[in-house]
């Protein structure tokens, strides 16, 4: 059985989303596939293709524990052989880890001939995210399962957003791995030390997320770009940016992007830049400065390639 999940970029509201503030994220045309089959004997086995990493569900490593939790969440009581293959760089803020969990659950429920909703799949995948992140908001797994553009608020039903125009995005890689858990913990410590400052930043982020929804739904790309820049400023004020992120954002703006910001946990990982149409000048500017990147289009019909393939299969 084959399962799939799409990677994501958070356009607005990362970190604040952990504390209940809404966020907007979109599925991208890069993702992860999983294959599962029944096996003769326990233990169940899990392989990340291309990384030479194979674990069983009975070992001590985090990946093994996460695999075990997924098998429990889907109530698999027979031995399985599972493999995943991802197009996403790890620890880059594109939701690589969540896509593995969602693709695995997607394949496992098919093996059991069950048909849970996409939301139920995302919830089962949460068991994996808990092992790695502890305090994950669930936004990564939600977008990995649904694709498209999502209005996400912790504890509430996610709302698919209807875009009236396609979004042309350039994604730039800082080349520095980032640990979501570490970045979330560093913000929690700052919040303990300076509660008023973090509260003010979260309020500002909430107001720009709400404005971004209006801009997105009315195809106001210029405003959207400015809101991305503002969100980046607020994230930098919370010490979540880095030298490489600021360089990537600056290069993107100079090359004509309407706005740019870090996406995901920050401290490294990736930057997202909104382009009016062709993202190539931004990609060229990044490449000239030694950074890699790729472009992705979020279609106005709010589907992603991976989501489309899934519904076609």
By the criterion CB under 6 A, which residues form the site for ligand PMV? Answer: 14-15, 17-18, 93, 95, 133, 136-137, 139-140, 180, 184, 264-265
Residue facing ligand PMV at closest CB distance: 264
Among residues 258 and 265, whose Cβ is nearest to ligand PMV?
265
C-alpha distances out from residue 110 to 36, 38, 121, 187, 244, Å: 9, 12, 11, 39, 42
Cβ of residue 308: shortest distance to ligand PMV, in angstroms? 22
Cα end-to-end distance, the chain, whole Å: 11
Among residues 36 and 184, whose Cβ is nearest to ligand PMV?
184
Backbone angles phi, psi at 192, to 5 degrees: -70, -40
Backbone angles phi, psi at 93, to 5 degrees: 80, 15
Closest by CA to 97, choosing from 181, 16, 153, 156, is 181
Among residues 54 and 135, whose Cβ is nearest to ligand PMV?
135
Closest by CA to 106, choosing from 176, 187, 3, 199, is 3
Cβ of residue 132: shortest distance to ligand PMV, in angstroms? 8
Task: Count other Cβ atoms within 10 Å, centred on residue 248.
Answer: 30
Among residues 23 and 167, whose Cβ is nearest to ligand PMV?
23
Among residues 31 and 221, whose Cβ is nearest to ligand PMV?
31
Residues in the chain: 313
Rounded Cα gap, residues 259 and 176, in angstroms: 21
């Amino acid at each position: 059985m084959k399962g799939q999940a799409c990677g994501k970029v958070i356009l607005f509201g990362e970190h604040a989303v952990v504390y209940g503030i809404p966020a907007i994220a979109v599925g991208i045309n890069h993702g992860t596939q999983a294959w599962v089959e029944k096996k003769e004997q326990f233990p169940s086995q899990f392989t990340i293709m291309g990384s030479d990493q194979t674990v069983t569900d009975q070992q001590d490593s985090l990946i093994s524990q996460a695999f075990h939790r997924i098998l429990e969440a889907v109530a698999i009581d027979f031995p399985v052989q599972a493999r995943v293959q991802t197009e996403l760089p790890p620890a880059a803020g594109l939701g690589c880890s969540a896509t593995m969990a969602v693709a695995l659950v997607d394949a496992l429920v098919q093996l059991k001939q069950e048909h849970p909703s996409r939301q139920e799949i995302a919830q089962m995948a949460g068991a994996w995210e808990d092992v790695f992140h502890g305090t994950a908001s669930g936004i990564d797994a939600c977008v990995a399962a649904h694709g498209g553009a999502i209005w996400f608020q912790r504890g509430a039903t996610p709302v698919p957003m209807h875009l009236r125009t396609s979004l042309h995005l350039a994604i730039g890689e800082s080349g520095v791995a980032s640990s979501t858990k570490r970045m979330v913990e560093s913000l929690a410590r700052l919040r303990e030390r300076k509660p008023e400052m973090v509260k003010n930043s979260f309020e500002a982020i909430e107001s720009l997320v709400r404005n971004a929804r209006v801009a997105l739904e009315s195809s106001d790309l210029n405003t959207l770009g400015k809101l991305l820049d503002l969100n980046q400023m607020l994230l930098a004020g919370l010490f979540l940016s880095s030298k490489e992120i600021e360089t990537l954002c600056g290069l993107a703006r100079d090359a004509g992007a309407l706005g740019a910001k870090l996406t995901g946990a920050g401290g490294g990982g990736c930057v997202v830049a909104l382009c009016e149409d062709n993202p190539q000048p931004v990609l060229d500017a990044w490449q000239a400065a030694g950074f890699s990147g790729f472009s992705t289009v979020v279609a106005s019909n709010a589907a992603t390639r991976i989501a489309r393939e899934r519904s076609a299969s």
